[in-house]
Structure 1
Amino acid sequence: MLLRYRFRVYPTAPQRVMLARTFGCVRTVWNDAVAAREAAFRQRLPHPSLAVLDRTLITEAKRTAERRWLADVSNVPLQQSLRDCHAAYRNFFDSLSGRRNGGRVGPPQFKRRTGAQSARFTRNGFTLRPNGRLYLAKIGALKVVWSRKLPSAPSSVTVMKTPTGKFFVSFVVTVDDGAELLEPLSDPEAETGIDLGLKDFAVLRGGKVIDNPRFFRRLERKLKKSQRALSRKAKGSANRGKARLRVAKVHEKIKHTRSDWIDKQIKALVSENQALYVEDLHVKGLVRGRMAKSMLDAGFGMFLTRLESKASRAGRTFVKIDRYFPSTRLCSTCGALTGPSGLAGLKHRAWRCGCGAHHDRDVNAEINIRREGKRLVAAGLADT
């Protein structure tokens, strides 16, 4: 199993200059590759191969006056940029033909210098030194803040610069299956269904509620204020750069606080439950409606992806219930479909079934999700 371990780095002033050059060269090679592909498509010519692009956009380009500065940086991230662009096009075409699972993937786009920057180094482009420094070819030894040990020797490292000017490195490491296995819980009933929602982020077994923190909503007013200030600044001015940085910092704070909160909730759920049952939400479809902003703010897709990964590495049972299973409408007492449905039924937080049972909407849904998950496990129909 491949995992990424991310750490903060603090380059010196000369190293920041070399990193800026490296990012610029990597971005240029990527954009040249996209332009070459688009030109071939417009002229109805075969797409240039990776070997042809490598020769024309790197080797031969270094001999020209317009691209001679490509020789100032390591050749490793330039070649990796071409390979990443080639993989992105392959995923795009496989998505069009149906050979790739998952949602539709768009074609590669041109990269801008104002966004996040990155460069990837393979084994022959970096070295981990005994003093804890990370040496990158033609950049130097970077100071890394090690928050944890790497489980194995990394196969590649990506150095990144965020829009706020912070630098990070991301190592790709191999982890053996079961390396993070947790001891089975003594309580055989330590399992829960997870009913996700907007009023409460999740409702667990026994009516336990995880409140929805609404990170974006909390800082939305501050973000609007900073965006209005940015719109009034002249393009290309120093003040516009400062205003852009303030907007980026607000976005970064929202992103990091949401990610940290989700990781903490997942750790608690996995450590306290032997089995976890969730609905297979169609997140991309949900973010297209009138509640799209709230759906994106909740981060359901991030939560479900990380929860499945963490449960698998910890040896916990993780089951996704079919998205069309009527967990809300189904009465957990008699099994009749008498509950609220559709957008009009969202305002009904409690309801009474014809059998006389009175249900809380989310608590009833959690019970049904848990029962359906246990049935799938017993029948051998779940990927656990």
Structure 2
Amino acid sequence: MSHCIADIAAALGAEFAGNGALMVRGAAEPQQAGPDDLALAVNPKYADGLAQGGARAALLWPGADWQTLGLQAAIFAPRGRLAMAGLTRMLDPGPAIAPGIHPMSVIDPTAQIGAGAAIGPFVTIGAGVILGTNARIASHVSIAEGAQIGPEALILQGARVGARVQIGARVIIQPGAVIGADGFSFVTPEKSGVEEIRETLGQRDEIRAQSWTRIHSLGAVSIGDDVEIGANVCIDRGTIRDTRIGNGTKLDNLVHIGHNVQVGDDCLLCGQVGVAGSARIGNRVVLAGQCGVNDNIFIGDDVICGGATKVFTNAPAGRVLLGYPAVKLETHVEMQKALRRLPRLAAKVAAIEKVIQKS
């Protein structure tokens, strides 16, 4: 599908210059763009790439001299990445899931399938499932009994939705995600070694045999509207109450959310983040890649944690954290500066020791 420059600019709420009727079929990096592509050069540092490619039109930074760059048309983006969000939405055809129900899928007769739903092959839908209007379900998805899927949801290949899970409107679930597996909950008849060292901070009077008894998961998972869940994400069901993911929250690939966890609205959890059971995360929290959150703690609204931060205690709202264990960003920077100075400090101490020994 082709789009003219004027229509793209209107959709992005941006200004354009030059030939607004010029048609483009896709987007490309400047040096790889052909005559039918819109080159993405939203920063002056990408200008040299335009000369290497063959684009006739480009998405440029405000004030760019598009004619000197050899273009026939240009769209000006005050906020480049935001413009790219709108542009990619226009150009993305989405997954090819035919309307209706594929004959090779199995749907329980008690399930309610909303109008306009599209269900691919090898999908299984259990008893009492409610599937919202215009929901799209790709191949090899399984949706267990009693689950509710909101309107306009998109569940991609091989995802698993457990029993009684509730998923809101316009949710996107990437391939391989598992929503509603049992929580990792076990207990010992006697006080376990883990409980003992938590109380004593490492001291153990006796090491003895112990065995684990399963605590079953009676809760489910509740996911709000406009949530996105990455590939191979795992969200465990709650023990009694539901594990909850708030509206607008985005989970990257390989994120693990433990049982009973409560995640607020508009959070961003990046790849390989792990949140242990019963932790509570406020609204608009950002956890960068490989962050870890201890069980039973609270992270306040608007907290930002840098990559690989490990949070073991409550974090107040608005705090910026980094490190293992997590400390304030400015404290972590000072600690790292001091750490780099240690070899020189050790050499100075050694020199002082030699002087003292000779005296």
TM-score category of the 2 structures, normalised to the smaller one: under 0.3
TM-score by length of 1: 0.22
Larger RCO: 1 or 2 (CA < 8 Å, sep 6+)? 1
Structure number with higher strand proportion: 2
Higher Rg of the two aligned structures: 2
